[in-house]
Chains A and B, each alone.
Chain A
């Protein structure tokens, strides 16, 4: 695989970070830089795949061990309880989201109507269409994002991210590379749903992400390409270490 000299230099500069990424120990801006680079570098993508394979194999080296008597029954009981609680939360959340979905649809229609009336749109059916994507961490879907078109636009985010709790920040990246914080939200037992305005055109948003107070990216949604996050961490991991 041939690379341009400047591309090769970039790869060399990130090689240590790529190793830490594969080990799941890279955090913060370094992690974001690697993710951005991986989007455009097949060489490093393949390198990551290879390093990750070595790390994954090592996890098999710990010897098996027998847990104490009753481990299985305690686990099944706990799982059933958590499953019941989830159903209750889901039902409650579904009603909130239904209202939000109607709001987004109405906003989309409103923008469409304005643009059509003033003759500013050559393709109103496209400009008015909300953008939506899956919020993922480590390839696992942990939520959904919908952004209405127009300016200002509205974002609705729905998160179900395991045990992750506490305050998170939602950031969006625009087509010109500008990053804006949409707001600060709270996840309770991994769940959260919110609607917030974006002070710019929603159709220019290329990605959205959730970060914690230390700037660690917890989950991400990409709108221009298929949703994917080469995040090797546990997806519900709230610390600066590594989902996914």
Chain B
């Protein structure tokens, strides 16, 4: 790898990926430092085990770095691409190695729906993410569980039905209603 100057904290994600694509190791390091806590946190939230979460985050980074050159900004942000790859790998890891935690007391459920954030956390979260947390916490329990199972654990509607011991139609309905409310809340935030 080569080095080409340095990247400060202001460098855009796209600029870092461009640097990665041409083999600039400083860009690789800057990108990893920017996203490692985020990716590891997401992986940990899904798989629940720190060792497994590190494996997932490492694999996610390798894929992202290897494919930096073909990232298409027209299809979404670097952050979304990065988080989606991590989420999918974490879901795979959970499917293979560990049963899905479905208890309402599960750490991911709690961390996702809690509004008890430190001031630092709150400051670092964008308005839309803060709003999404509030909207998720406001959902009825059954809809929130269905949404978290689907989004964070990659469960299909039929799997949600089986896990929750409810008819498939009910599972679909909970997911649909939950998503609709989250979307509505997001639209209100955007408009305000």
Cβ-closest chain A residue relative to B69: A141
Indicate which residue in B44, B58, B172, B182 contacts A65 across the interface (CB closer than 8 Å): B44
User: Contact flags (1/0) for B92-118 with A, using CB distance below 8 Å?
Assistant: 100100000000000010011000000
Contact B85 A242 (CB under 8 A): no
Interface stretch, picked from A48-56, A119-127, A171-179, A205-213, is A48-56
A-B contacts, CB under 8 A, total:
179
B183 at the interface (CB under 8 A from A): yes
Indicate which residue in B41, B84, B125 contacts A234 across the interface (CB closer than 8 Å): B84
Interface stretch, picked from A73-81, A98-106, A180-188, A192-200, is A73-81
B17 at the interface (CB under 8 A from A): no
CA distance A232 to B150 in the complex (A): 14
Indicate which residue in A53, A55, A67, A75 contacts B37 across the interface (CB closer than 8 Å): A67
Indicate which residue in A19, A141, A239 contacts B175 across the interface (CB closer than 8 Å): A19
Contact B128 A83 (CB under 8 A): no
Q: Which residues of A contact B57 (CB under 8 A)?
A: 67, 71
Indicate which residue in A25, A53, A60, A235 contacts B154 across the interface (CB closer than 8 Å): A25
Contact B186 A68 (CB under 8 A): no
Contact A58 B151 (CB under 8 A): yes
Contact A25 B66 (CB under 8 A): no
User: Contact flags (1/0) for B75-100 with A, using CB distance below 8 Å?
Assistant: 11001100111011101100100000
Contact B70 A140 (CB under 8 A): yes
CA distance A211 to B143 in the complex (A): 33
B12 at the interface (CB under 8 A from A): no
Indicate which residue in A66, A234, A244 contacts B40 across the interface (CB closer than 8 Å): A66
Determine how close the nearest CB of chain A comes to the CB of B187; give it in whole angstroms.
Answer: 9
Known contacts A57-B128, A57-B132, A57-B186; decide if A78 and B80 are in contact (CB<8 Å): no
Contact A78 B58 (CB under 8 A): yes
A63 at the interface (CB under 8 A from B): yes
User: Contact flags (1/0) for A30-59 with B, using CB distance below 8 Å?
Assistant: 000000000000000000001101111111
CA distance A153 to B36 in the complex (A): 48
Cβ-closest chain B residue relative to A15: B176
B29 at the interface (CB under 8 A from A): yes
Contact A63 B1 (CB under 8 A): no
Prevailing SS type, chain B contact patch = helix
Q: Which residues of B contact A57 (CB under 8 A)?
A: 128-129, 132, 182, 186
Q: Which residues of B contact A19 (CB under 8 A)?
A: 172, 175-176, 179
Indicate which residue in A22, A71, A86, A162 contacts B54 across the interface (CB closer than 8 Å): A71
Contact A65 B151 (CB under 8 A): no
CA distance A237 to B121 in the complex (A): 32
Q: Which residues of B contact A68 (CB under 8 A)?
A: 50, 54
Interface size on A, residues (CB 8 A): 56
CA distance A62 to B50 in the complex (A): 14
CA distance A64 to B117 in the complex (A): 12
User: Contact flags (1/0) for B12-48 with A, using CB distance below 8 Å?
Assistant: 0000000000010100110011001110111011100
Cβ-closest chain B residue relative to A238: B92
CA distance A62 to B133 in the complex (A): 10
CA distance A198 to B155 in the complex (A): 38
Indicate which residue in B83, B84, B147, B156 contacts A243 across the interface (CB closer than 8 Å): B84
Q: Which residues of A contact B156 (CB under 8 A)?
A: 20, 25-26, 241
Contact B157 A25 (CB under 8 A): yes
A138 at the interface (CB under 8 A from B): yes
Contact B136 A58 (CB under 8 A): yes
CA distance A86 to B23 in the complex (A): 13
A154 at the interface (CB under 8 A from B): no
Chain B interface residues toward A at CB < 8 A: 1, 23, 25, 28-29, 32-33, 36-38, 40-42, 44-46, 50, 53-54, 57-59, 61-63, 65-67, 70-72, 74-76, 79-80, 83-85, 87-89, 91-92, 95, 108, 111-112, 121, 125-126, 128-129, 132-133, 136, 147, 150-152, 154-157, 172, 175-176, 179, 182-183, 186
A-B CB contact pairs (8 Å), 6 listed: A16-B176, A60-B129, A76-B32, A82-B66, A140-B72, A141-B70
The 3 closest A-B CB pairs, nearest first, are A62-B45, A139-B75, A234-B88
